[in-house]
Chains A and B, each alone.
Chain A
């Protein structure tokens, strides 16, 4: 995904625009990253250069959460705890 694509992306759930972009790995294009809706706090993965902005019912926790955890050092706390559709709230609260 090219950075410029952000210009035409809205949150498919609440239609908010513009969205926020976190880049984790970038070559000629963004290889891995996260797109965040600042309004509803949904996060969408960019994997293999493709932004995946699917509705909640088509998302798979067992695919998305490992990706989310892999990059948690680079994700703001607000999204880690309150992010939708999956987050690390229960996990983070266990911490001392």
Chain B
């Protein structure tokens, strides 16, 4: 079991080996989290809040497995990745062989309802509900049911250039922000408490026809939530 602190650069290098989805579907909002953003999320979870090393970790909507594999690499006790897309899960499984982490991660091709029981930590980058309204609510509900601590990525409503510039110029690329009133209310109604919210910039390449720019840049908020 790896207990030592892993350098962020090593984590990013591992994550960059993770292959993306060969044929992403817009309806599932399938894109791969950029390696640097995934590394930042995992680093916050592992070393700011101590929620990865020796913990049981569940990645809901894991796609091709970037967060799950990163958690295994940092020393999670056991990692489970769930995704409804069979192709994504097959690629995730290949990625776990490629990165030498196969023995540490279990993959399930299923709807997130398949998960029963409790995990120390849930990591999730749910569909933002841009293509399918309210798609992220189901993920939050499930995460609050099965997770002690939840790391959930949501699209921010912040679009102002000044804020984006701030995210680009700061050395750490993350800024603590206040939660959206909707998510705060939703989490509260489901027995959870928001511990922290970190804004970061996400840049994803043009993938779908409705993306008119070559690169799509937007602000995402990482919510750290204490479950029921």
What residues make up the interface of A, taking CB atoms closer than 8 Å to B? 1-2, 5, 7-12, 15, 17, 48-55, 58
Query: Taking A5-B106, A53-B108, A54-B84 as contacts, is the C-beta distance between A48 and B115 under 8 angstroms?
Result: no
**Nearest-neighbor residue (CB-CB) of A8 within chain B:** B117
**Nearest-neighbor residue (CB-CB) of A17 within chain B:** B116
Residue numbers in B under 8 Å from A58 (CB-CB): 84
Stretch at the interface among B85-93, B127-135, B149-157, B215-223: B85-93
What residues make up the interface of B, taking CB atoms closer than 8 Å to A? 80, 84, 86, 89-90, 93, 106-111, 113-117, 119
A5 engages B80 (CB within 8 Å): yes
A55 engages B109 (CB within 8 Å): no
Residue numbers in B under 8 Å from A11 (CB-CB): 114
**Nearest-neighbor residue (CB-CB) of B119 within chain A:** A8
Q: A54 to B86, alpha carbons, bound, how many Å?
A: 9
6 further A-B contacts with Cβ under 8 Å, apart from A8-B115, A54-B109, A55-B111, are A7-B116, A12-B114, A15-B116, A48-B90, A51-B110, A55-B84
* Majority SS at the chain B contact face: mixed
Residue numbers in B under 8 Å from A52 (CB-CB): 86, 109-110
A9 engages B111 (CB within 8 Å): no
Q: A87 to B38, alpha carbons, bound, how many Å?
A: 43
B109 engages A51 (CB within 8 Å): yes
B116 engages A8 (CB within 8 Å): yes
Residue numbers in A under 8 Å from B93 (CB-CB): 48-50
**Nearest-neighbor residue (CB-CB) of B86 within chain A:** A52
B109 engages A12 (CB within 8 Å): no
5 contacts between A and B (CB under 8 A): A48-B90, A50-B89, A51-B108, A51-B109, A52-B86
**Nearest-neighbor residue (CB-CB) of A1 within chain B:** B106
Q: Which of A2, A48, A54 contacts B111 (CB 8 A)?
A: A54
Q: A38 to B114, alpha carbons, bound, how many Å?
A: 15
Q: A10 to B108, alpha carbons, bound, how many Å?
A: 12
Closest 5 CB pairs of A and B: A53-B110, A10-B116, A12-B113, A12-B114, A52-B109
